[in-house]
């Protein structure tokens, strides 16, 4: 479930499934994309409800993908890619406030944001490799842009958990603060047209469509190979 509210010059978008650590089903991804697309405020603040930011893809949804139908699995990856792309391309500046766990797709949504601010309690990991997957919501495109390539590879390949201080050291987040929302409020004091212009110029890159397509197809191949492991991980 995605909740939205507007507070002055900031639109607050909350991933609100705390009982599932804010894991995202396909319909949640679509709702999150719409929430960002419809933002008319200069700044959007993305957060998670409860004690986690986002656990990534709901593994029940991943386990339910047709292992023999590459298009089915690839379509799920592309759904996440579209949501992350909407965050990156939005006219509004997206500030991601990470408090608690960000895992898998939760890390990828944060990577798509313009600014990532974490609390001291934030932790980050890409655990998909443990059961035969990887971050396929644009993670292979954005992670080495945000972190140094060596740090990005070690983070993604090991599946280990980074605390807030290490996330700051590697560039995964830009601030560690008690109240990430305050970062959004400071940015919202800027002139809206200047904020949009700065975002556009910094993000001006070549089209990543071909790399995203390859990422989705690779995800589908791994779903086919490791479907049993994915299904088993739901109960762990």
- How wide is the angle at C-alpha 69 spanned by C-alphas 68 and 74, nearest 5°? 125
Residue 33 has pLDDT above 70, yes or no: yes
Best CA proximity match to 76, nearest among 58, 94, 89? 58
Better-scored residue on pLDDT, 212 or 18: 18
- The model's confidence at residue 206, banded by pLDDT at 50, 70 and 90, is low
Q: How far is Cα 33 from Cα 168, in angstroms, rounded to an integer?
A: 27
The pair of three-digit structure tokens given for residue 30, joined into one six-digit string: 């679509």
Q: Which residue has the higher pLDDT, 18 or 138?
A: 18
For residues 17 and 80, what is the distance between their CA atoms, to the nearest angstrom? Answer: 17
Taking only the tens place, the pLDDT of each residue in 55-86 is: 998 888 878 877 777 777 788 889 999 999 99
pLDDT at 235 over 50: no
Burial of 138 (0-12, 13-18, 19+ CB in 10 A): buried
Confidence (pTM): 0.85
Question: Rounded mean pLDDT of 191-195?
Answer: 91
Residue 107 has pLDDT above 90, yes or no: yes
The per-residue pLDDT for 208 is 66
> pLDDT over 70 for what percent of the chain?
95
Q: Would you state the pLDDT for residue 223?
A: 79
Q: In what order do the strands lie in the sheet with 162-163?
A: 52-54, 101-103, 123-125, 162-163
Asked whether the CA dihedral 24, 146, 139, 161 is positive or negative, the reply is: negative
Summarised one tens digit per residue, pLDDT across range 109-128 is 999 999 999 999 999 999 87
């Amino acid at each position: 479930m995605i909740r939205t509210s507007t507070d002055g010059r900031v639109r607050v978008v909350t991933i609100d499934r705390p009982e599932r650590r804010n894991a995202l089903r396909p319909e949640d991804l679509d709702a999150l994309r719409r929430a960002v697309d419809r933002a008319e405020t200069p700044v959007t603040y993305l957060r998670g409800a409860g004690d986690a930011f986002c656990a990534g893809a709901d593994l029940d949804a991943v386990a339910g993908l047709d292992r023999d139908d590459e298009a089915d699995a690839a379509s799920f990856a592309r759904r996440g890619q579209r949501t992350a792309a909407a965050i990156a391309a939005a006219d509004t500046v997206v500030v991601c406030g990470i408090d608690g766990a960000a895992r898998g797709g939760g890390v990828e949504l944060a990577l798509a944001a313009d600014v990532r601010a974490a609390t001291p309690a934030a932790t980050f990991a890409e655990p998909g490799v443990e059961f035969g997957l990887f971050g396929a919501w644009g993670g292979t495109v954005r992670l080495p842009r945000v972190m140094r390539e060596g740090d990005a590879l070690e983070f993604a390949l090991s599946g280990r958990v980074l605390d807030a201080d290490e996330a700051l050291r590697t560039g995964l987040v830009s601030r560690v603060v008690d109240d990430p929302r305050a970062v959004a409020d400071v940015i919202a004091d800027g002139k809206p047209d200047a904020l949009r212009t700065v975002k556009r110029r910094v993000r001006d890159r070549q089209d990543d469509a071909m790399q995203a397509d390859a990422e989705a197809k690779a995800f589908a191949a791994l779903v086919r190979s490791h479907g049993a492991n994915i299904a088993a991980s739901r109960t762990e």
